[in-house]
Chain A
Amino acid sequence: MRGQVPRRTIFAFIGPAVIGLAAVGIAPLLYAAWTSAHFYNLTKLKRVEFLGFENYWTVLTDEVFWQAMGRTFFLLGTALPLQIALGLGIALVLHQPGLTLVKTLARLSLVLPMATTYAVVGLLGQVMFNQKFGVVNQLLGGADINWIGDPQNAFAMIVFWDVWQWTPFVALVLLAGLTMVPGEVEEAARLETKSKWIVLRYVQLPFLVPGLVAVLILRTADTLKLFDMVFTLTRGGPGSSTEFISLMIQRVGFRGFDQGLASAQAIILLIITIVLAQIYIRVFYKEV
């Protein structure tokens, strides 16, 4: 029978990975669960007290926490449609025949933003978006826009960099989808209709769906994880206008030193992440 192998063999293959990941992935979580049930402040380790679910209650009723969560999803809701629209446009341009050399160049340059260290993107943002000596205002014809100091503009700036860094990813994934469309089918469709939209909607789209699903999953996860770029660019400011969930937890845990509360926040975030991942993967990835 296909795939029937002794337990011992299975374990020999998969055991090390499971143990390894459990050691670095699960053990800390258990520890976090423990701290989250305690008053556990790094600067007050002389007084560690059992609190039960009090930290969770504090988090769940803290509007600041939910505002940060809402802001995170708002970012996803703003940046992702832009990434998909622009990414699809780029993919369609690259998919057209001809101009091989320029297209190879374009494809290569698309790789660059994705590979860039996220923290460096934030530093670059500080330099380029500075109100006085930033090149962005200069390129906008000597505009005097206060990017970093205005809540709305700062948020827009974060969206810009997220779109800059991840649109290429969407474009390349969708381009791969487009190349999976059998040539004859596409040609036949083009003979039938002149409308590019109809070709896209009825011929190409079915091949793009799996890619779009992957994009949705990965961008959701990465937005919940988003830290580095914002930390180096705005540190969550001005006010709380760019304080996304991971930044907020970092602030509570490592600036306020309340590790108990931060652990509770982190575990709630983890639960939200797992639920979303479950939904996405179970719904869209039926195989395996």
Chain B
Amino acid sequence: MMTTRSYWSQIALLALIILVCVFPFYWMVTTSLKTQVVALESPPVWLFEPTLANYREALFEDGVLRTLINSLIIAISTTLLALVLGVPAAFALARFEFRGKKDLWFWFITNRMVSPIVLALPFFLIARNLSLLDKHITLILIYLTFNLPIVIWIVTDQFRGIPYDLDEAARLEGASQFTIMRKICLPLAMPGVAVSAIFSFIFSWNELMFGLILTRTEAKTAPAMAVSFMEGYNLPYGKIMATSTLIVIPVLIFALIASKQLVRGLTMGAVK
């Protein structure tokens, strides 16, 4: 039914969307393969002899590798912790009736809105008093402030969508609430759990401000590392882009693999 003209204009539009989304990554990767002299050519060059020197330098001389490992450890740990704490809470919010439930839910969600700078200052002082600066655990805990709300928001929604009759039947057979959650509801809520885990991971991986303020060397995260090349004296653009590529590519691959769940998660809290 489509006319050829609208067919082609549609293809052109879609191509434009793809191009705009992807081009910055193309530029990031090609710049990371340029030497400093080539990177500073004006106007920029599109064809050049690529070099891996920036990656070699970033990974093995400047210690980006270690910061990537730190980021991975922290993002996975905080995600798991958020799930362990958040899933039962979400179950309670979806299934139990109690006073102040609305306020509690609201409080959980509000944490998602709070600017990290509000917490960064005092958290720094507290961590300092407890000798927790530059430790993985510190970031794992503080990242709960945005991961826990995500888990609770999405998983509560998911639990609510499961027919109540199912746990009623189980309860008549004498199952505890915990068993009901684990055996009956959790398997059905798995998509929501997966989505919130993906979000938690991505947000934690990408976080900069806490990483910058609460770590120094031992627990330094990859985004904090990328920023540390920005010396006013000399901007090694190739190396900065190589580090950026190393940080972004894993999370992009992960996001692409999980894109179905991701899109559903975006819309879950939103559309319902």
Q: Which chain A residues have a beta carbon within 8 Å of chain B's beta carbons?
A: 2-5, 7, 9-10, 12-14, 16-18, 20-21, 23-25, 27-29, 31-32, 35, 90, 93-94, 96, 98-99, 102-103, 105-121, 123-124, 126-128, 132-135, 137-138, 142, 164, 168-169, 172-173, 176-177, 180, 210-211, 213-215, 217, 220-221, 224-225, 227-228, 231-232, 245-246, 249-250, 253-254, 259, 262-263, 266-267, 269-270, 273-274, 276-278, 281, 288
Contact = CB atoms under 8 A, between A and B. Distances in A.
Contacts of A269: 115, 117-118
Interface stretch (B49-57, B96-104, B187-195): B96-104
A117 B122 contact: no
A215 B266 CA distance: 10
Interface string B191-227: 0000000000010011011000100000000110011
A75 to B, nearest CB: 14
A114 to B, nearest CB: 8
B170 interface: no
30 contacts: A3-B95, A21-B85, A21-B144, A24-B141, A25-B145, A29-B118, A32-B119, A93-B10, A96-B10, A99-B14, A107-B263, A113-B21, A114-B255, A119-B206, A124-B241, A135-B27, A172-B263, A180-B271, A211-B267, A211-B270, A211-B271, A224-B113, A224-B115, A227-B208, A228-B208, A228-B223, A232-B230, A266-B117, A269-B117, A278-B106
A253 to B, nearest CB: 5
A125 to B, nearest CB: 9
Interface residues of B, number: 102
Interface string B14-43: 110110111011011001000000011111
Contacts of A164: 20, 24
Contact of A106 (B17, B81, B110, B120): B17
B270 A173 contact: yes
B14 A103 contact: yes
Contacts of B123: 24, 28
A252 B108 CA distance: 28
A218 B46 CA distance: 38
B44 interface: yes
Given A107-B263, A176-B263, A116 B117 contact: no
Nearest to B6: A96
Interface in B67-121: 81, 84-86, 88-89, 91-93, 95-98, 101-102, 104-106, 108-121
A67 to B, nearest CB: 17
Given A13-B177, A115-B255, A228-B208, A21 B14 contact: no
Contacts of A98: 2, 7, 10
Contact of A128 (B11, B27, B223, B263): B27
